[in-house]
Amino acid sequence: MSANIPELNDSNWETFVEKNKKPVFIMFYSETCPHCRTMMPYFEQYAEEYGERVVFGLLNTDNSVWIREKYGVFSTPTFKYFCGGKPVGDIVGAVYPALLKRMIEDMIKNGSVCALKSTEIDYEITGYA
């Protein structure tokens, strides 16, 4: 969708997001989402502005169903912030660009502390006996 921001998929997700030493900000989108097209210029602008401190990436939810389900993405656009490979914040929908920018700035400041206090998600646990 954007020439400057890497497109992620099932094969590069783990290396790009979960094992990245830098904070990572992902926009989950779909090709048919009009709100995604509305938000893309702002996402690109913030990638350029904060690109030295935060890694930005895109994930098409239609092509990576497993990742979409793993991280509970039910609608697009969804923006998720990862620190230490853990999701530490998200925002859903065509939000005011200032909210998106504020989230990035807050996560740059506090995301690593949040990640350290988070517990790993055990995806093998189910509610069924």
For residue 82, what is the domain's CATH number? Answer: 3.40.30.10
Please enumerate in sequence order all residues whose Cβ is within 8 A of that of 67, keeping only pairs 6 or more positions apart, or say none: 8, 10, 13, 59
Is 129 within the bounds of a domain?
no
Cβ–Cβ < 8 Å for 55, 24: yes
Structure tokens at 129: 């006996």
Question: Which residue range is the domain that position 39 belongs to?
Answer: 7-117
Residue 114 a catalytic site member: no
Q: What is the pLDDT of residue 36?
A: 95
* In-domain check, residue 24: yes
Check residue 124 and give its pLDDT.
59
Query: Count of domains in the chain?
Result: 1
In the set 17, 33, 39, 55, the catalytic residue is: 33
Q: Is residue 126 part of a domain?
A: no
Q: CA-to-CA distance for 60 and 75, rounded, in angstroms?
A: 11
Residue 2 lies in a domain: no
**102 assigned to some structural domain:** yes
pTM score, whole prediction: 0.84
More confident: 127 or 61: 61
Active-site position among 26, 36, 40, 55: 36
Specify the residue for token string 């055990």: 122
pLDDT mean across residues, the chain: 86
Instruction: Classify residue 52: in a domain, yes or no.
Output: yes
Residue 94 falls within a domain, yes or no?
Answer: yes
